[in-house]
Structure 1
Amino acid sequence: MQSGFGFCGHDDIQRWQRALEPIRASAGPLPRRSPIGALVKSMISGRTRDAVSLAAYDRLVAAFATPARVLAAGPGEVLRCIGAVTHAEDKARYVTRALGRIAAERRGFDLGFLGDLPLDDALAWLERLPGVGRKVAAATLNASTLDRPVLIVDSHVLRVLQRTGFVRRGAEGRAASEAVTRAMPEWQGRDFLDFHIGTKKLGQTLCRFDAADCAHCPLRTDCRARSD
């Protein structure tokens, strides 16, 4: 294995994609939201269980219906909807500030133009927004209707990539996303999303932070951190 570079890295990812398919399929499909919807959903999801962040997002949509109304409501009212997520006050503030920046620059909330920019430029544009890092930017591009080919790396995906040795132990999510994205130039957006779902589910179940069930892991033969 070559830490995400070269043909060896490509073959590893391709093999893991096949091995993770049963786990990915058990998670079910992710809904394809608009880019602005995917942005807001990802911004409130960090370090929060999926069910909690999804319920918070649904409350936000039910309460305000449009990004313009979320922005007009302000962080206090947003906090009422997303109060159950981790760091809710910070996220409420960042969401409204990000929406305000988008509205000022784009005269609206249509982020479809990001589908026409080079991938690195689209990521960079999003990462200029308050509260948006690489994970949120990648989710906005990949998990939305834009369907762009970039890997979303959260803490679960990063742990799997570190333990297998695809990236070094101290690597950050940005480096891991870039390594896998570079390694798979022929992949489409759907392929990257499937890999994200599969590795995330693996990290939530068999490859948890506090306990790893290596005996049942589909990647155990390739994992440098496995316990025999």
Structure 2
Amino acid sequence: MQRRLDFVTTDVARWAGLLRPLSPDPATLPRRTVIGQLIKSLISSRTRDEVSIPAYRALGARFGSAAGIARASVAEIGQTIAAVTFPEVKAERLAAALAMVAADRPDFDLAFLGEMTQGAAMAWLERLPGVGCEVAAAALNVSRLSCPVFVVDTHTIRILRRLGFAGPAADSRAIMTAVMEAVPDWTGDDFLWFHMGIKRLGQTVCRHGPPDCPRCPLRADCPTARATPAGDG
């Protein structure tokens, strides 16, 4: 049984403000349909945007629509997204997920999820093959729905653990819930901006290896930075 996770009190809004210069204002970004974002997120795990975005566009160019992808074979999907990590696995999951969506929503219009409670919408998505907490949250938040849901990826987990916000055993769902409870009045754009800022910080400064603490805008609040000898980052 998973033990209860404890989170320290912190100013999430302050961190979000410090990270905003690292990414564009979400209000200026184009948004995908829910099914489009679901497809993009399903092929993006452990793959940089420079690779996953062209792969997503290649799916559209070859198959035309979600319905077209659903009619394609797993092999055809895998060939089209060959540049992403684990393309065969992702192709199988994408095909299976789209088959389930088609059974419930033949038009692939998932805008109805925006009318459901967050918990119900997340549950509807997470029953699909390959869709976990991160992918479901992205489909709701990053899409045109712009739901007030926080997307937690590996960068988020690593950085919020280093900041002391989350315990070492904290998983993505626990961190998502804790962040959302800390800033209950945030909009979907607020959560997306924070997500993009943390992601960028994780890619450039607070990396998987030794962090570059002197360059981090959050270093004044970070116990990991205080414990890191100068010059080790």
TM-score bin (small chain):
over 0.9
1:94 offset after TM fit, Å?
A: 0.6
Q: Distance in 1 between matches of 2:54 and 2:105?
A: 29
Q: Distance in 2 between matches of 1:59 and 1:198?
A: 27
The residue aligned with 1:83 is 82
Q: Distance in 1 between matches of 2:118 and 2:24?
A: 28
User: Is the alpha carbon distance of 1:199 and 1:28 closer, same or farther for their aligned partners in structure 2, counting shifts above 3 Å?
Assistant: farther
Q: Distance in 2 between matches of 1:185 and 1:105?
A: 32
The residue aligned with 1:185 is 184
In 2, are the aligned partners of 1:36 and 1:140 still within 8 Å (CA)? yes
The residue aligned with 1:164 is 163
- The 5 Å alignment of 1:68-217 reads 68-217=67-216
- Letter of the structure 1 residue corresponding to residue 48 of structure 2: R
Q: Could you report, residue by residue, the CA deviation over 1:30-59 in whole angstroms, capped at 9, with x for unpaired residues?
A: 531000000000000001111111111111
- Letter of the structure 2 residue corresponding to residue 182 of structure 1: E
In 1, are the aligned partners of 2:25 and 2:193 still within 8 Å (CA)? no
1:3 offset after TM fit, Å?
A: 1.9
For these two proteins, the number of residue pairs brought into alignment is 222
User: Is the alpha carbon distance of 1:30 and 1:209 closer, same or farther for their aligned partners in structure 2, counting shifts above 3 Å?
Assistant: farther
Q: TM-score normalized by structure 2?
A: 0.91
Q: Distance in 2 between matches of 1:29 and 1:20?
A: 17
1:225 offset after TM fit, Å?
A: 1.1
User: Is the alpha carbon distance of 1:29 and 1:155 closer, same or farther for their aligned partners in structure 2, counting shifts above 3 Å?
Assistant: farther
Q: Distance in 1 between matches of 2:89 and 2:216?
A: 36
Q: Distance in 1 between matches of 2:56 and 2:68?
A: 14
Q: Which runs of 5+ in 2 are unaligned?
A: 1-5
Q: Which runs of 5+ in 1 are unaligned?
A: none
The residue aligned with 2:3 is none
1:112 offset after TM fit, Å?
A: 0.5
User: Is the alpha carbon distance of 1:27 and 1:86 closer, same or farther for their aligned partners in structure 2, counting shifts above 3 Å?
Assistant: farther
Q: Could you report, residue by residue, the CA deviation over 1:106-128 in whole angstroms, capped at 9, with x for unpaired residues?
A: 23200011000000110011000
Q: Distance in 1 between matches of 2:192 and 2:26?
A: 12
Q: Distance in 2 between matches of 1:82 and 1:159?
A: 27
TM-align CA RMSD: 1.7
Q: TM-score normalized by structure 1?
A: 0.93
1:86 offset after TM fit, Å?
A: 0.9
1:87 offset after TM fit, Å?
A: 1.1
